[in-house]
Amino acid sequence: MSRFFSVKFADHVAYVPGEQPREQKYIKLNTNENPFPPSPLAQQLARQAAGDLALYPDPHCTELTRAACEKWGVAANEIIFGNSSDVVLSWLFIAFCDHEHVPVFADVTYGFYPVFASFNGLTPKVIPLQKDLTIRPEDYYNAGGTVFIVNPNADVGLALTVQQVADIVEHNPDNVVVIDEAYVDFGAETVLPLIHKYPNLAVTRTFSKSYSMAGARLGCVMADEGLIGDLQVVKNSINPYSVNRMSMAAGQGALLDEEYFEANRQKIMENRAYTIQALKDLGFATTNSLGNFVPFKSDRIHSKELFGKLKEEGILVRFFSEGPWGDYNRVSIGSREEMETFIRAVQKIMEASR
């Protein structure tokens, strides 16, 4: 760091993204990307939009918003788009968190949450998961701050029911509750209809996972128009042109191409079921994940060692070096061929460790 860096960030620890190798070919199962390409319609519309890159994009994302409203059953004043769900989550931290409304989240959750808290100079309230790795709704009643819950939960893959989320929202009438639905399309039930009942509920979505657009950086928040109005103030104070033309067009195409979306979603869920069963057959503990990833661990090999040996086999997974999740690895769900190669590599490693 230079001597000019603000002292307010002296103790700040930035987010560490998953490894993105360039020099060697790996089967990349470490960052919860979709193994399938974006929708052909998404690609077509993005190419068309490239011809207008000399012009600023529509700050209101009008056509993308229209497609989203039709698909998700919300009004135009109940949704706001940004340059990734990471960006819209940062707006939520800026808009609704302060020293009187600290962020509240689980000890195992999306790794950006503690980073956002630190960046905003806030000490979060961190709530441990239960022994079975679930979130206990009652732990979030009268939370005394802004609640952030990934549902299904990041890295764990387990989900709260719609009623459990409603109970949390009802027990926090004076605070905003944010439900991050990054992985909802892979088997969990959305709580989105509840935004029409609760003015303090916000639901975030990303196009990185189920829509195969991690490289486009597109996400959104859906909530009561009052909350969206607050977020518009934040957005327009930072970057009113938050979504570029090509990502905007690709997002519209992805939403319109329902058949392609559904086919790929089903493949990922089928490949996940195969992976979970295969890992259990090899003696690993795991969860019945509803995300596009599977956590797994074994008493016979440490997560860091397994990570390293899989990398030697040309397969990247994720391991967590510290905290309550430190003895687990996490594998993203790829194509069936990729998952079969992964399972064969794990079997080879485990047989060699006997």
Confidence label for 10 from pLDDT (cuts 50, 70 and 90) = confident
**Peptide linkage before 35 cis (omega within 30 of 0):** no
Greatest distance between any 2 Cα atoms in the chain? 62
Q: What is the mean pLDDT of residues 144-154?
A: 97
Give the pLDDT score at 324: 66
pLDDT tens readout for residues 162-211? 999 999 999 999 999 999 999 999 999 999 999 999 999 999 999 999 99
Confidence grade of residue 12 (pLDDT, cut at 50, 70, 90): confident
| Amino acid in position 349 | I
pTM listed for this prediction: 0.95
Contact 320, 155 (CB under 8 A): yes
Of the candidates 207, 186, 187, 204, the one whose C-alpha atom is nearest the C-alpha of residue 257 is 207
Distance of alpha carbon 297 from alpha carbon 304, whole angstroms: 11
Per the prediction, the chain carries an average pLDDT of: 95
Pairing between β-strand 293-297 and β-strand 285-286 as defined by DSSP bridges: antiparallel
| 177 membership: H or E segment, kind and range | strand 177-180
Report the half-sphere exposure of 317 (CA within 13 A, side-chain side).
33
pLDDT in tens, 53-72: 999 999 999 999 999 999 99
Rounded to 5 degrees, what are φ and ψ at 270?
-65, -45
Q: What is the per-residue pLDDT across 287-335, written as a single tens digit (0 to 9) for each?
A: 999 999 999 999 999 999 999 999 999 999 998 766 666 689 999 999 9
